[in-house]
Amino acid sequence: MDIVQIVSIGLVAAILAITLRQQRPEMALIISIAAGLVIFFMIAGKLSVAIQALNEIMRKAQLNNIYFTTVLKIIGIAYITEFGSQICKDAGEGSIASKIELAGKVLIMILALPIVLAVFDLISSVMQ
């Protein structure tokens, strides 16, 4: 079970980080970042399965591939933003974490604009 391994890595890293935080705060941060990266790469392979399934659904529904690509980019930005923000929070840099989250939200909004405009065009064409 992958989740048992992921939780185990997380718990061991958390215990090590808590133990080291008093004497060596820089090592605690490195352990936290390393554990986060290990967990991220463990689940990265699973994402390809989900992407393939979504791609198949899009193909069967005969939807424009540009929307699928945009949605995947938005999901990627959301995950990367959350990951970076949490690392900054772990390092005690809540202010930087907030800026990362703001940047992620702005980038998501910019990427989502073409989809929102397409929905508005569809609604307006149906209303006429």
- Can you give the residue ranges of every domain in the chain? 1-45, 64-128
Packed helices 94-127 and 65-90: angle between N→C axes, nearest 10 degrees = 160
Closest Cα partner for 97 from 109, 106, 89? Answer: 89
| pLDDT for 1 | 64
Full-model pTM: 0.74
Low-confidence ranges of the chain (pLDDT < 50): none
Packed helices 25-61 and 2-21: angle between N→C axes, nearest 10 degrees = 150
Handedness of CA 49, 52, 58, 61 (dihedral sign): negative
Helices (H), 62-93: 65-90
